Structures are given as structure tokens and as C-alpha cells.
Amino acid sequence: MEKPNLNYIKQLSGSDLLFKNELINLIKEEFSSEKKEYYDNLKNNDLIKTAGNVHKLKHKITIFGLVKSHELAQQYENELREGSSITSVKFSIILDVISNFIEEI
């Protein structure tokens, strides 16, 4: 399993520590609310809305440098749009990995 990192955030913020911290806090907030909305829509079996949630979460996956996880998220988003949620367990693992990482930063 890939490990999240802050390389992209560090690249964006350069030596501006204040901007880096603001960016991290914004991503934490967005990730938390997007993750909750994802699980709510998945629970309600609203696959189209769930696909939209996955689309938004893909951006966070990219920000944390998870290339293979981004590919899996893209596959999962396509599955959802076709009426299937086969990859939901694998996607949940990715969300857990990111959640654990966010708690530590």
C-alpha cells in the first residue's frame, strides 16, 4: 500500500510555512466533510452522488501523492457511474490510510 506524503503541498507552499499550514488545515476540513458525504451517499445507495464524491476525493488522493490509489479511485468512479460498487472496500482502505495520515500531521 502506498504511503501518503506532503511533497506536493511542500512544493506548492515553498518556504511559506503559514501558507503550508493553512493549506493542510483546509485539506483536512474538506477531506473530512467529503469523506462523510461519500459514506452517507454510499449508505443510501445513491451511486451517482457517490461517484461525484469519489471524483472530489480523487483530488485529495493526488495531493497526498498516491498515484496507484488515484488510478483505483478513477476505476471506482467509473464503476459507480455504471451502477456497481465492487471497489468500495478497496476505496475505503485508501480513505482510512489518508485519515490516519491526516491525524498525524
User: Looking at the 3D structure of the chain, how many domains does it have?
Assistant: 1
Range of the domain at 96: 7-104
59-84 pLDDT per residue, tens:
999 999 999 999 999 999 999 999 99
Residue 27: its pLDDT value, please? 96
CATH number of domain containing 34? 1.20.120
**pLDDT band per the 50, 70, 90 thresholds, residue 1:** confident
Asked if the structure places residue 2 within a domain, the reply is no
Cα Rg of the chain (Å, integer):
14
Global confidence as pTM: 0.94
Asked if the structure places residue 11 within a domain, the reply is yes
